[in-house]
């Protein structure tokens, strides 16, 4: 199993997996803030949720990283939160260096294979928001990325549930991955945000969500910013439907 290491620069602590690639980050003075821009965008699913239901239901992370999303959902959103991580040294590192709390009534960190977790019938229709960020130590491409996997991801979502996936938008693999997600969820239920300057593109996929009008989306974005300190109005300007060309 690949080992976890840590580095620090200008008040930010970074997680690595035996390589130079950053697997996650935490500003030491603000451990529950989302430091990396693409990690912030992984929370864009909030825009698709009605304001009075925005923090209802269970949220799940596939891939713990530096535990930023897990901590934010648990501590800030105060939602029942489950993180699924294959590498036990990552879990240990997050508790040692990245302020990941011990499990409690609302938090469960599971040392398990993400593909096995989503395929478990016990998890069908139990999740309201699913964050998928599954890269190995070389950070070259998602380690789980076929239609069977995305079908199981869709199956764990409840009606109205949403999935966000971190992909590299400037890589040829983006179109291939986006096409697989669109074939499983339906093209009209998949959107993308513009790539970050590092090239990370967040895909949002939904299970039977009706997109409200612009006025309601703007109100939701303002509510997200006021309650949770996330740049939701910026997200709203960069969300776009997926190009049908991804279906080939």
pLDDT band at 18 (very low <50, low <70, confident <90, very high): confident
Q: Give pLDDT, residue 137.
A: 47
CB 148 within 8 A of CB 30: no
> 47-88 pLDDT, tens per residue?
999 999 999 999 999 999 999 999 999 999 999 999 999 999
Query: Is residue 161 included in any domain, yes or no?
Result: yes
Residue 222 lies in a domain: yes
The answer to whether position 188 is within a domain reads: yes
Question: What pLDDT score was predicted for residue 170?
Answer: 59
Least confident segment among 58-72, 101-115, 139-153, 219-233: 139-153
How far is 152 from 142, CA to CA, in rounded Å?
16
Number of domains in the chain: 1
Q: Considering the domain boundaries, does residue 9 fall inside one?
A: no
Question: What is residue 211's predicted lDDT score, i.e. its pLDDT?
Answer: 93
Please give the helix or strand (H or E) that residue 69 lies within, else none. helix 68-71
Closest CA to 87 of 136, 132, 121: 136
Is 21 part of any domain? no
Q: Is 69 part of a structural domain of the chain?
A: yes
> For 99-125, how does the pLDDT look when each residue is reduced to its tens digit (9 = 90+)?
999 999 999 999 999 999 999 999 999
Residue 94's Cβ-count burial label (10 Å; 0-12, 13-18, 19+) is: buried
Inside any domain, residue 124? yes
Q: Note the pTM of the prediction, 2 decimals.
A: 0.95
Count Cβ atoms below 10 Å from residue 149 Cβ, excluding itself: 22
CATH number of the domain within which 229 lies: 3.40.50.150
Res 20 pLDDT > 90: no
pLDDT at 186 over 80: yes
Query: Range of 149's domain?
Result: 32-247
In a domain, 202, yes or no: yes
């Amino acid at each position: 199993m690949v080992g976890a290491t840590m580095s620090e620069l200008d008040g930010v602590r970074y997680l690595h997996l035996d390589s130079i690639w950053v697997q996650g980050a935490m500003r030491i003075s603000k451990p529950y803030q989302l430091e990396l821009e693409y990690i912030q965008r992984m929370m864009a699913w909030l825009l698709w949720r009605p304001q009075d239901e925005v923090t209802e239901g269970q949220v799940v992370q596939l891939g713990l990283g530096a535990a930023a999303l897990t901590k934010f959902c648990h501590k800030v959103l105060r939602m029942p939160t489950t993180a699924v991580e294959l590498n036990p040294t990552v879990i240990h590192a997050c508790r040692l260096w990245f302020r990941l709390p011990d499990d409690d009534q609302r938090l469960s960190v599971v040392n398990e294979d993400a593909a096995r977790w989503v395929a478990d019938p016990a998890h069908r229709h139990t999740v309201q928001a699913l964050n998928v960020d599954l890269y190995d130590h070389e950070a070259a491409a998602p380690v789980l990325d076929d239609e069977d996997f995305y079908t199981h991801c869709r199956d764990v979502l409840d009606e109205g549930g949403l999935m966000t996936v971190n992909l590299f938008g400037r890589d040829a693999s983006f179109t291939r991955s986006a096409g697989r997600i669109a074939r499983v969820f339906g093209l009209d239920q998949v959107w993308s945000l513009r790539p970050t300057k590092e090239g990370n593109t967040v895909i949002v996929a939904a299970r039977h969500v009706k997109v409200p009008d612009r006025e309601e989306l703007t109100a939701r974005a303002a509510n997200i910013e006021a309650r949770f300190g996330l740049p939701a109005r910026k997200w709203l300007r960069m969300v776009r439907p997926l190009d049908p060309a991804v279906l080939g």
